[in-house]
Structure 1
Amino acid sequence: MNKKFASLAAASVATLALTFAAGTASANDPTPKWCAGVKIAAFPGGPQGGVFANNVYNGFRQAEADLGPTVTYYFSDWDPNKMLQQIQQAVATKVDGIATYGFAGEAATGPIVDQAFGQGTTFTSLNTALPDSQKKYAAQGFGYVGAPNYSAGFALASEAAKRANLQSGDSVFVWGLKGQGGDRGQRTVGVIEAFEKAGAKVIYQEIDAATNADPNAGTATFVGVMGANPGVKIVVTDHGGLTSNVGVYAKAASLKPGQVYFAGFDMSPNTAQAVKEGYQNLVIDQQPFLQGYIPILNICLTKKYGFSGLDINTAGAFVDSTNVDAVAPLAAVEIR
Structure 2
Amino acid sequence: MSGSLVKSVATVVLATVALSSIASVAKAEALRDKWCSNVTIRFFAGGAEGDAFASIVYNGAKQAEKDLGAKVDYIFSGWSSEKMTQQLREAIGAKPAGIAMMGHPGNAAIMPLAEEASKAGIKMMYQNVPVDEVTAKFGGAYVGAQQGPQGRALGEEAIRRFGLKSGDVAIVMSDWSQIERAERELGTLKAFEDAGLKVVKLQSPEGLGTDPNVGIPVITAAVAANPDVKLIAYPGGQPLGNAATYMQAAGKKAGEVINIGFDTSPQIIDAFKNGWVQLTSDQQPFLQGYMPILSLCQQVVYGLGAVNVDTGAGFVTPDNYEAVAALAIEGLR
- Report if TM-score (shorter chain) is over 0.5: yes
Letter of the 2:4 counterpart: N
State the match for 1:163 in structure 2. Answer: 161
State the match for 1:48 in structure 2. Answer: 49
How far does residue 13 in structure 1 lie from its aligned partner after superposition? 2.1
The CA distance in 2 between the partners of 1:63 and 1:279, in whole Å, is 34
Question: Aligned pair 1:68/2:66, yes or no?
Answer: no
2:256 to 256, 259, 265: 259
Scaled by the length of structure 1, the TM-score of the pair is 0.95
Secondary structure at the residue paired with 1:34?
A: coil
Question: Aligned pair 1:180/2:178, yes or no?
Answer: yes
Contact 1:261 1:281 in 2 (8 A): yes
Letter of the 1:61 counterpart: K
Identity %: 37
2:308 to 308, 311, 316: 311
Q: Deviations over 1:263-310 (max 9, x none)?
A: 111101010110111110000011101100000001000001111111
Letter of the 1:135 counterpart: A
How far does residue 169 in structure 1 lie from its aligned partner after superposition? 1.1
Question: Aligned pair 1:20/2:18, yes or no?
Answer: no
Residues 111-150 of structure 1: matches in 2 within 5 Å?
111-138=112-139, 142-150=140-148
Secondary structure at the residue paired with 2:306?
A: coil
Letter of the 2:318 counterpart: S
Question: Aligned pair 1:231/2:228, yes or no?
Answer: yes
Label 1:251 to 1:20 Cα distance change in 2 as closer, same or farther (>3 A): same
The CA distance in 2 between the partners of 1:144 and 1:203, in whole Å, is 31
Contact 1:177 1:188 in 2 (8 A): no
Letter of the 1:110 counterpart: M
Q: Which moved more, 1:254-263 or 1:273-282?
A: 254-263
The CA distance in 2 between the partners of 1:12 and 1:327, in whole Å, is 55
Question: Aligned pair 1:240/2:232, yes or no?
Answer: no
Secondary structure at the residue paired with 1:316?
A: coil
The CA distance in 2 between the partners of 1:334 and 1:15, in whole Å, is 50
1:6 to 5, 8, 16: 8
Letter of the 2:56 counterpart: N
State the match for 2:207 in structure 1. Answer: 210
State the match for 1:196 in structure 2. Answer: 193
Label 1:203 to 1:118 Cα distance change in 2 as closer, same or farther (>3 A): same
Contact 2:36 2:68 in 1 (8 A): yes
The CA distance in 2 between the partners of 1:296 and 1:55, in whole Å, is 14
Label 1:263 to 1:8 Cα distance change in 2 as closer, same or farther (>3 A): closer
Scaled by the length of structure 2, the TM-score of the pair is 0.96
Aligned length in residues:
331
Secondary structure at the residue paired with 1:292?
A: helix
Letter of the 2:20 counterpart: L
State the match for 1:279 in structure 2. Answer: 276
How far does residue 116 in structure 1 lie from its aligned partner after superposition? 0.7
Letter of the 1:133 counterpart: V
Contact 2:205 2:214 in 1 (8 A): no
Question: Aligned pair 1:329/2:326, yes or no?
Answer: yes
How far does residue 106 in structure 1 lie from its aligned partner after superposition? 1.0
State the match for 2:297 in structure 1. Answer: 300
Secondary structure at the residue paired with 1:124?
A: strand
Label 1:205 to 1:17 Cα distance change in 2 as closer, same or farther (>3 A): same
How far does residue 134 in structure 1 lie from its aligned partner after superposition? 1.7
Contact 1:164 1:234 in 2 (8 A): no
The CA distance in 1 between the partners of 2:6 and 2:75, in whole Å, is 72
Label 1:11 to 1:166 Cα distance change in 2 as closer, same or farther (>3 A): closer
Instruction: Name stretches of at least 5 consecutive residues in structure 1 with no aligned partner.
Output: none
Q: Which moved more, 1:5-14 or 1:273-282?
A: 5-14
Letter of the 1:300 counterpart: C
Letter of the 1:224 counterpart: A
The CA distance in 1 between the partners of 2:116 and 2:295, in whole Å, is 19
State the match for 1:107 in structure 2. Answer: 108
Q: Which moved more, 1:79-88 or 1:210-219?
A: 210-219
Q: Which moved more, 1:246-255 or 1:35-44?
A: 246-255
The CA distance in 1 between the partners of 2:7 and 2:160, in whole Å, is 80
Contact 1:153 1:189 in 2 (8 A): yes
State the match for 1:94 in structure 2. Answer: 95
The CA distance in 1 between the partners of 2:152 and 2:24, in whole Å, is 54
Contact 1:81 1:104 in 2 (8 A): yes
Label 1:213 to 1:3 Cα distance change in 2 as closer, same or farther (>3 A): closer
The CA distance in 2 between the partners of 1:186 and 1:20, in whole Å, is 53
State the match for 2:37 in structure 1. Answer: 36
RMSD (CA atoms): 1.4
Instruction: Name stretches of at least 5 consecutive residues in structure 2 with no aligned partner.
Output: none
Letter of the 1:77 counterpart: G
Secondary structure at the residue paired with 2:309?
A: strand
The CA distance in 1 between the partners of 2:38 and 2:10, in whole Å, is 48
How far does residue 77 in structure 1 lie from its aligned partner after superposition? 0.6
